[in-house]
Amino acid sequence: MLSLDVKDQIANYYLGMIFFLRHDHRKGKNFFLNATNLAPMMPRRGLSLVKKSDQGKYLEAKQAFLN
């Protein structure tokens, strides 16, 4: 069984990636290149990269993942 801290990091990583890439509006950038470049920092910055309007949905999804 994974510890809660590890689950929290996994949740931040994947949910942050999903929400950030869904709303990546920097035109002309390669979608997959962005995902690769963001991967190392996503666990620390998951929520800060999510648009303000989506932060509630992000936290709700993260809670569901952790439970």
For the whole model, what pTM was predicted? Answer: 0.32
Supply 29's token pair: 């950038």
Supply 67's token pair: 């439970």
pLDDT in tens, the chain (67 residues): 667 677 777 777 776 666 665 555 555 444 444 444 554 444 445 555 555 666 677 677 777 766 6
For 25, 28, 58, 60, the CA distances from 7, given in Å and listed in that order, are 29, 34, 15, 15
pLDDT at residue number 41: 46
Could you report the per-residue pLDDT of 29-45, keeping only the tens digit for each?
A: 444 444 445 544 444 45
47 residue type, one letter: L
